Amino acid sequence: SDAAQCPFLSGTQKQTAGGGTRNRDWWPNELKLNILRQHGKSSNPYDKEFDYAKAFESIDFPTLKQEVIDLMTDSQDWWPADYGHYGPFMIRMAWHSAGTYRVGDGRGGGASGTQRFAPLNSWPDNGNLDKARLLLWPVKKKYGKKLSWADLMILAGNCALESMGFKTFGFAGGREDVWEPEQDVYWGSETGWLDNDERYDTSDGDLEGHLGAVHMGLIYVNPEGPNGVPDPMKSAHDIRITFGRMAMNDEETVALVAGGHTFGKAHGAADPDTYVGPEPHGASIEEMSTGWKNTYNSGVLDDAITSGLEGAWTPNPTQWDHDYFDVLLNYDWELTKSPAGAHQWTPKNPDAKQAPAAGGNGTQALMMSTADMALKTDPKYLEISKRFHKDHAAFEDAFARAWYKLTHRDMGPVDRYLGPEVPQEELIWQDPIPKVNYTLSDADISSLKKMVLASGLTISEMVRTAWASASTYRDSDKRGGANGARIRLEPQRSWEVNNPEELSKVLNVLEGIQNEFKGEVSMADLIVLAGNAGIEEAARNAGHTVEVPFSQGRGDASQEQTDLESFGYLEPLADGFRNYIKDELKVAAEDLLVDKANLMNLSIPEMTALVGGLRVLGANYDGSNHGVFTDNVGHLTNDFFTNLLDFAYTWNATSSDDRIFEGKDRRTGIVKFTGTRADLIFGSNTELRAIAEVYGANDGEAQFVNDFVAAWAKVMDADRFDLK
């Protein structure tokens, strides 16, 4: 019968393909190679040739803006606009889209439209923003591919501000959507939303790792105060840490919170536990990817429930004005509870102004969250709040700039910015790089390479320096890279991983060549060219003729154009490609290698080829022999793989923490090689081993050399948005 043949009909199988207990369930610590596979062709519906920049530039931008502005006051029955204006709601959506960015690893942020996907679409802090995106669907539908969700969400924030009378600093398009949740972003380890305090190091009051929020499921801080305790001073501590993680200083932080909360209201008409349904990702199929269904009365306007706090900050919540600081600083506020039971603050002054009701009938008391109260309780915040209260122009300028930074910081260099509203002014957080104006002929390039090869620099030095220069690139926020040659500047030139003493020697030699060269060449180009020359020489040594692709045109940034603190975040804690790991790190070297490969936007084969190549070129940061599985350093061979896979060697840890290993000849017991976890993982992990077998096979060396050269060139050019 059919039932006997079909396991689903007979009920013996309840899971479909992909279900069941998976490797990660059995071995939770397995290497997370999945993050090097995300955003592949198979999840992207657009052609490989699709050019978003071109598509976006074809939009009639003023028309688009007007449509978004018109939408703000076109209230829909299914989610009517508070005060007849969706502006505040759209600002919150844009801010929550951008606000997941953290400068530590550059991940998160609004540049890829991930608010559409879980977990972000279902974070408690993103409550009801599913509706904000649905309100924008008619615009998205009209423009289709030409306008990404990521751009539209940020644009909607700008249009909202402008439609309520605030002059923004500018807008740039250019954010390309992804098509699946980002698997690489570490949002924390808690298994419950808003679990208290698990990510704080109680000894120093700091937050775990790069995390940008105090609880799982929040963008930043708990509005009611740390762990729901309404203590404004402690809230200030949390705000300073979390906004700092997003590269915002105190002034920018005060400007952002005050500017944002000049608009809109908080929603807490009744107890969420009684009335609010599951978040979108947990809701039933007929909810059609929406969630938080609210059964309290009408469920909307004055009956809406989002954060649980209730009320507006200012008397005119859909108008840009200076009332926020007026009411915050001039009124005395007392701790009360919202109808939903959340801690909040209400004016004590009997004659305090009121806000209109969201639905238009009557008025309602003003409100501050504990986080807002921090702006008048913390002495440093208070000083800034008072200054902004007096000096409207300073406040407006600070808010405009901070909003622009918030919403654009993760886009990378200005070469990526699109559209007619990109401001002329260059900002330090954009890591400016001067343009160069020269063209090297093929003859120039080959004579420069000859000069480098005759300079006495070793292949290892050439390769190491070029790698050090280019490998700071991180695709997460598109910062770093070889362009700008910031390897010559602080803080990069002093990083331990860059072997400062050797680096300065190499840079001196290259500067000498730059001076001697008849034409013009930037140090940024020369550093890359020297690396390429080293690789070509190493390939020749191994009997291969290759030309490493070279894209000239890099500029040299100055120290003044380099924000020390912000570049400090690019310092690698580990760089498995150079066999570097900071001593005190508790994470395994192989995990950090994959993390870095992900930041550099490398695939699994690219990572493998690069490690195998860099090892035989002797590119370890300290010149050590770990992983240098060859007798011919400086020859671009597949020796790393052949020796790694050769069972003639047995491997044992020589350090108690299992970081360093030695490989002995099985027969003689003589130590032949030493290696780190970032070496042995290519033999130990079965997927990496499968790639190593390709490169280590008898027919593998030619492919290895080609793949290495291609991956190298990709790294050297990773930041060349000026060419793309």
Catalytic residues: 96
Q: Does 265 bind ligand HEM (CB under 6 A)?
A: yes
Q: Does 267 bind ligand HEM (CB under 6 A)?
A: yes
CB-wise, 311 or 484, nearer to ligand HEM?
Answer: 311
Residue linked to tokens 């130990």: 684
CB-wise, 179 or 429, nearer to ligand HEM?
Answer: 429
Q: Does 221 bind ligand HEM (CB under 6 A)?
A: yes
- In whole angstroms, give the CA distance from residue 603 to residue 421: 35
Contact with ligand HEM (CB under 6 A): which of 256, 270, 617, 691? 256
Contact with ligand HEM (CB under 6 A): which of 111, 135, 164, 371? 371
Contact status, residue 101 vs residue 477, Cβ threshold 8 Å: yes
Token pair, residue 455, equals 């300079």
Q: Does 400 bind ligand HEM (CB under 6 A)?
A: no
- The residue type found at 347 is P
CB-wise, 242 or 630, nearer to ligand HEM?
Answer: 242
CB-wise, 226 or 264, nearer to ligand HEM?
Answer: 264
- In whole angstroms, give the CA distance from residue 453 to residue 137: 58
Q: Does 311 bind ligand HEM (CB under 6 A)?
A: no
Contact partners, residue 262, CB within 8 Å, separation at least 6: 313, 314, 320, 321, 322, 323, 324
**Shortest Cβ distance from residue 592 to ligand HEM (Å)?**
31
Q: Does 404 bind ligand HEM (CB under 6 A)?
A: no
| Strand-pair partners of 651 | 663
**Shortest Cβ distance from residue 147 to ligand HEM (Å)?**
22
Contact with ligand HEM (CB under 6 A): which of 257, 510, 688, 709? 257
Residue 336: φ, ψ to 5°: -135, -175
Q: Does 324 bind ligand HEM (CB under 6 A)?
A: no
Choose among 52, 156, 40: nearest CA to 97: 156
**Shortest Cβ distance from residue 371 to ligand HEM (Å)?**
4
List binders of ligand HEM among 330-369 (CB under 6 A): 369
Angle between helices 323-330 and 250-260 (to 10 degrees): 100
Q: Does 261 bind ligand HEM (CB under 6 A)?
A: yes
Token pair, residue 448, equals 């420069």
> Which part of the chain contacts ligand HEM (CB under 6 A), choosing from 81-89, 407-415, 482-490, 589-597?
81-89
Q: Does 239 bind ligand HEM (CB under 6 A)?
A: yes
- In whole angstroms, give the CA distance from residue 659 to residue 678: 9
- In whole angstroms, give the CA distance from residue 154 to residue 168: 12
> Which part of the chain contacts ligand HEM (CB under 6 A), choosing from 48-56, 256-264, 631-639, 684-692?
256-264
Contact status, residue 305 vs residue 268, Cβ threshold 8 Å: yes
- In whole angstroms, give the CA distance from residue 129 to residue 279: 11
Q: Does 100 bind ligand HEM (CB under 6 A)?
A: no
Contact with ligand HEM (CB under 6 A): which of 85, 92, 544, 677? 92
Contact status, residue 502 vs residue 687, Cβ threshold 8 Å: no
The DSSP H or E segment spanning 358 is none
**Shortest Cβ distance from residue 125 to ligand HEM (Å)?**
8
Q: Does 266 bind ligand HEM (CB under 6 A)?
A: yes
Q: Does 248 bind ligand HEM (CB under 6 A)?
A: no
User: Largest Cα–Cα distance in the chain?
Assistant: 92
Contact partners, residue 142, CB within 8 Å, separation at least 6: 67
- In whole angstroms, give the CA distance from residue 183 to residue 186: 8
- 3-state SS track over 480-531: CCCCECHHHCCCHHHCHHHCHHHHHHHHHHHHHHHHHCCCCCCHHHHHHHHH
- The residue type found at 591 is D
3-state SS class at 258: helix
Contact with ligand HEM (CB under 6 A): which of 163, 307, 455, 637? 307
**Shortest Cβ distance from residue 292 to ligand HEM (Å)?**
11
Residue linked to tokens 């902004």: 388
Q: Does 220 bind ligand HEM (CB under 6 A)?
A: yes
Residue 501: CB atoms within 10 A of its CB come to 8
CB-wise, 219 or 619, nearer to ligand HEM?
Answer: 219
CB-wise, 82 or 537, nearer to ligand HEM?
Answer: 82
CB-wise, 303 or 693, nearer to ligand HEM?
Answer: 303
Q: Does 95 bind ligand HEM (CB under 6 A)?
A: yes
**Shortest Cβ distance from residue 105 to ligand HEM (Å)?**
21
- In whole angstroms, give the CA distance from residue 24 to residue 595: 17
Q: Does 260 bind ligand HEM (CB under 6 A)?
A: yes
Contact partners, residue 361, CB within 8 Å, separation at least 6: 302
CB-wise, 147 or 256, nearer to ligand HEM?
Answer: 256
> Which part of the chain contacts ligand HEM (CB under 6 A), choosing from 66-74, 260-268, 377-385, 507-515?
260-268
DSSP letters of 140-191?
A: HHHHGGGS-HHHHHHHHHHHHHHHTTPPPS---B-PPPPSS--SS----S-S
**Shortest Cβ distance from residue 92 to ligand HEM (Å)?**
4
CB-wise, 261 or 408, nearer to ligand HEM?
Answer: 261
Q: Does 79 bind ligand HEM (CB under 6 A)?
A: no
Contact with ligand HEM (CB under 6 A): which of 149, 263, 296, 577? 263
Contact with ligand HEM (CB under 6 A): which of 88, 232, 605, 612? 88
Q: Which residue ranges make up the site for ligand HEM (CB under 6 A)?
A: 82, 88-89, 91-92, 95, 220-221, 223, 239, 256-257, 259-261, 263-267, 306-307, 309, 369, 371
